[in-house]
A and B are shown apart, each in its own frame.
Chain A
Amino acid sequence: MTDNRKLIKIATAGSVDDGKSTLIGRLLYDTNSLTTDKIEAIQRNSKQKGFDYLDFSLATDGLVAEREQGITIDVAHIYFSTEKANYIIADTPGHVEYTRNMVTGASTSQVAIILIDARKGVIEQTYRHFFINNLLRVSHIVVAINKMDLVEYDEETYLKIKEDFEVLIKKSNYTSDQISFIPVSALNGDNIAQKSEKMSWYVGNSLLDHLEVLEPSDLQESTAARFAVQYVIRPKTSSYHDFRGFSGKLHGGRLAVGDDITVLPSFTQSRIKTIEFFDQEYDEALPGSSVTITLEDEVNVSRGDMLVKSDELPTSEKQLSAIICQVNRKPLTVGSKLILQHGVNSVLAKVDSIESVIHTDFSGEEATEKLSLNDIGKVNFRLSKPIHFDSYVNNKNNGSFILIDEATLDTVSVGFIN
């Protein structure tokens, strides 16, 4: 595609009444991303409800139950673009019981917007939202201090909240350059797409300008190349009689023709012969490429195997320590047997021990027997076969996994490998 604008994926987090949906609605409105028929629907609905302003939350709250209760209960995806970038927002619910949705939204995002109600300041919910972003290492955080109109655009209020939040930063893995504070009024559009005249004391960018200047390099990890084979391509036609291509998505680093590679789990060595995409061949592929690779030698490679550079081997183990977030009502208990899906590879896993449940307000951890829905804890596993992983900190895709219940086949947990 000729579209070389950067793609920025954002997750939003906030409590029920922080005005998250309003903020997103305002971003859409101010970037001319709402079409006339949608704006008319918003006007109609706002009037019906007797509001004297436009209720932009109606642009994002999609399900009937949400419209009835006026809250967001599931991750919704919203798209908009400017001349400089394409954006995807994962709008996640702010209730305590919906931690799993926040984790889901954060897992695919590079930027998180944490909303704080200027009247309430940093509350327990803020701790939790920040904790999850810290756990998932979302690259950049914007703390949007909202409803500034309700505190008379007061600088002192803003500074106090910023100061409170900075205490949290010290407890996290973040450095202060990864976190920005912006005072906004989503309802009135202050510091959303345009700088607010009502807060001349604020010298930074508006929210949108702030997102526009983020560089992809600020947002992407660069580590070792990991190529998990999804599907073996064997055309079996006369012109491609001996073709055996390994297709998959490249994560972490680059791969180039001529690279010495090792196939896991067999530890067979070979060299990259071609890197192909559709009817073209390339010398090199960047992370994020869904390409097809052929090897110099006839090696046995099947789905779930991983190609890595021979001098960048991952850890291969049958024992695993990870931080788990429970995303299903069925609790995780010691002795449970589950399917562990690591990328496109699956093995069986048994819970050896559960060390602790971690308090998501940065107040420490305590011993536990089980992890219930929305709990985050430290768990040790034994696996039926080794998996080939990196720590989550070094490679998000190769350092995470999901657990699947053998009976219901539902995804019940997500894990971040230590």
Chain B
Amino acid sequence: MSNIFIPNPKEAESIHIIREVAAQFEKPVLLFSGGKDSITLVRLAQKAFYPARIPFPLLHIDTGHNFPETIEFRDQLVAELGLELIVRNVQDAIDQGKVREEKGRYSSRNTLQTTTLLDAIEEFKFDACIGGARRDEEKARAKERIFSVRDDFGQWDEKNQRPELFDMLNGRIHQGQNVRVFPISNWTELDVWEYIKTEKIKIPSIYFAHKREVFMRDGMIWTANEHVYREQHEQVLEEMVRFRTVGDMTCTAAVFSQAETLDAVVEEIRASTISERGARIDDKRSESAMENRKKVGYF
């Protein structure tokens, strides 16, 4: 009986991209947030180089405001797969006076990550940073190249991008420049979830419905704990919720959910009428919030 390999076109494209990174760059790194997209990247990288190990480290920019479940998951994954993990902390940049902590009602360390990321790139001389951004997430990301060249200041020049033709990737850069690489550019949120399901990939527990202390603000469900600014009248409730994206606690809102299994989560997303980043408080700042952050070197 003939055993024929039938490719999944999106997976095949991602693996092609990840292999190009390993071949074209001296010091690549995989930006790992502990979210489902970067977990998917790890699986794709595993497949790309099997039976060899993933030939680059993971970099986590820790805001100090991550969900503890994410950090626990991260450490388990790294131990299980024998990966190299580098962690750099936003707290250090704050302590060194490089960035100032935001205050008040919508304060978040989300934008502060950029400084720590750029410092880490410089410290380790990373020339390629692999990220889990997808074009379907947000409309400025829809324009992003797969190999996106950044200047010495980490900036994105969106009007002057290299055209990407067929599947040829040009990662040639000058000293000081680096490339952000997005292997799952062409995946949708549902593609990622279906992949996690078929591949039986483990993900942090906060993606599943659980009881959590939350409060309501602007029609969104915020996590109630010491890192999230809360006014006195904002009442803390215990609700069944889950998270659709996993970012900083201060910028990731939860959704009401009873989906306790992967099947239920996938079904819920299929039926959902709110986009994934609809629960991202950081995108609500303005219509061009994402584009503006990307220009200065955000993920």
The residues of A with any CB-CB pair to B shorter than 8 Å are: 1-3, 7, 35-38, 59-65, 67, 73-79, 81, 86, 88, 100-101, 103-104, 107-108, 230-231, 233-237, 239-240, 243, 245, 247-249, 275-286, 288-292, 303, 327, 339, 341, 343-344, 396-397, 400-402, 404, 409-411, 414
Contacts and interface: CB of A to CB of B under 8 A. Distances in A.
A396 B166 CA distance: 8
A90 B34 CA distance: 30
Given A108-B165, A237-B52, 4 more contacts: A63-B143, A104-B165, A233-B52, A248-B19
B211 interface: no
B4 to A, nearest CB: 5
A35 B272 contact: yes
Interface stretch (B108-116, B155-163, B225-233): B155-163
B172 interface: yes
B256 interface: no
Given A64-B291, A230-B19, A284 B164 contact: no
A327 B194 CA distance: 37
B174 A409 contact: yes
A288 B12 contact: yes
Interface residues of B, number: 63
B297 to A, nearest CB: 18
Contacts of B166: 107-108, 396-397, 400
Contacts, number: 192
Contacts of B98: none
Interface in B118-175: 135-136, 139-140, 142-143, 158-159, 161-168, 170, 172-174
Contacts of A62: 139-140, 142-143, 291
A239 B52 CA distance: 11
A74 B275 contact: no
15 contacts: A1-B8, A1-B194, A59-B139, A74-B143, A74-B158, A88-B186, A108-B165, A233-B51, A237-B52, A240-B51, A245-B51, A282-B3, A283-B2, A286-B7, A341-B170
Contacts of B275: 35, 37-38
Interface string B32-74: 0000000000000011111111000000000000000000000
B283 to A, nearest CB: 10
A250 to B, nearest CB: 8
Given A3-B194, A290-B16, A37 B274 contact: yes
Which of B7, B135, B163, B174: most chain A CB closer than 10 A?
B163
Contacts of B46: 278
A77 B186 contact: yes
Contacts of A7: 9-10
Contacts of B174: 409
A-B complex: 8 closest residue pairs judged by Cβ atoms? A62-B139, A282-B5, A235-B52, A290-B15, A409-B172, A35-B275, A36-B273, A1-B8
Contact of A275 (B5, B19, B273): B5
- Chain A interface mostly: mixed
A104 B51 CA distance: 35
Contacts of A283: 2-4
Contacts of A88: 186
A280 B15 CA distance: 16
B197 to A, nearest CB: 8
Contact of A288 (B7, B49, B50, B274): B7
B4 A284 contact: yes
Given A290-B12, A409-B173, A60 B139 contact: yes
Nearest to A407: B174
A243 B163 CA distance: 37
A414 B168 CA distance: 10
A402 B274 contact: no
Nearest to A41: B287
A341 B9 contact: no
A37 B278 contact: yes
B198 interface: yes
B194 A2 contact: yes
B48 A247 contact: yes
Contacts of B164: 104, 411
Contact of B2 (A2, A38, A284): A284
Interface string B192-220: 00110011000000000000000000000
A184 to B, nearest CB: 23
B5 A249 contact: no
Contact of B198 (A1, A236, A245, A276): A1
B19 A35 contact: no
Nearest to B275: A35
B288 interface: yes
Nearest to A329: B160
B101 interface: no
Contacts of B4: 282-286
A64 B162 CA distance: 19
B252 interface: no
Given A76-B143, A411-B165, A290 B48 contact: yes
A145 B48 CA distance: 44
Contacts of A402: 165, 168, 170
Nearest to A284: B4
A290 B50 CA distance: 12
